[in-house]
Amino acid sequence: MTSQNSIDILSVGGSLAKRIVTNDELSHLVETSDEWITTHTGIKERRFSEDGVLTSDLAVEAALSMGVSLSDVDGVIVATATPDYKGFPSTACIIVEKLQLNNVHVAFDMAAGCTGFIYALETARALVVAGTCSKLLIFGAETMSSVLDFTDRNTCVLFGDGAGCALVAAGSGLKKSIIGVEGSGAKSLYINSKNHIKMDGRAVYKFAVARIVEVIQNLADDMGTTPSDITWIVPHQANERIIRAAAARLHISEDKFFLNVDKMANTSAASIPLALWDMDKQGKLKKGDSVLLIGFGAGLTYGGNYLVWNK
């Protein structure tokens, strides 16, 4: 992929729901404990939105947190499983209105589960290469608390609310993407007719570990490097045990992976851009760093992006 066929991330932003919900608090709602949740997932707390806060509200906060001009943005992509409205209008269109983005001519939502931001980044690259857009806002934004069943202890402890975003334009940063799907696993993770998440945890775990290892190794091979030589691997923040298992299979240090699942839980499509925002705030990302984003989720979808950080 040449520089003419790529994009750079110019800025990243994030927003978390205001209410902090600890494991101890959840133990009063469902039969569980802080010890069980922590040892099985690595999660200590998560954020839940207050009544009336929509996915678009969190996304707008994330965009504004960047502190940069958005006047020349001409495309908006929102990866989400929890849009403001079922069906239509898209959350992307609502964000365009709330941010008063007067030059946007492409705005749509993307439903690829927790892999949504991976898909969205590659889609943005394609739109720039095609000449359809020159600068896009890409969001992963979720209010997962709105689809939780608090009688199901296997799922209600896992998720949280937040939004992350990236401003992208033509450049040389995105070097390679791999995106994929295993439709045969669609019923392993879905939102049912009662608007509640249902998950076959064992099936998702096996799928996630296998695909993380496969995509990381394939992207490294394609780029003529090794997983251990990549500066940062930024995974979808689903479960600490999944990352540990993947690191062991790849024979690389767990320290190579950036994790903040302990404080944010699984924010679905928002987790990867929120991780980038968190890393950027902490000064962990340096110009020239190789950064591999890796996602997996409902569909069952999976994918990865190999970036050189040019911000």
Instruction: Report the catalytic residues.
Output: 114, 236, 266
% helix, strand, coil for the chain, step of 5: 40, 25, 35
**Per-residue three-class SS string for 218-287:** HHHHHCCCCHHHCCEEEECCCCHHHHHHHHHHHCCCHHHECCCHHHHCECHHHHHHHHHHHHHHHCCCCC
Quick one: tokens of 25?
A: 């608090």
| Bond from prior residue into 89 cis (ω within 30 degrees of 0) | yes
Q: CB within 8 A of 239, min separation 6: which ones?
A: 40, 41, 42, 158, 205, 208, 261, 266
Rounded CA-CA distance 136/127 in Å is 9
Residue 59: other Cβ atoms inside 10 A: 32
For residues 174 and 207, the answer to whether their CB atoms sit within 8 Å is no
Helix (H) or strand (E) holding 130: none
Gap between the terminal Cα atoms of the chain: 19
Rounded CA-CA distance 128/18 in Å is 35
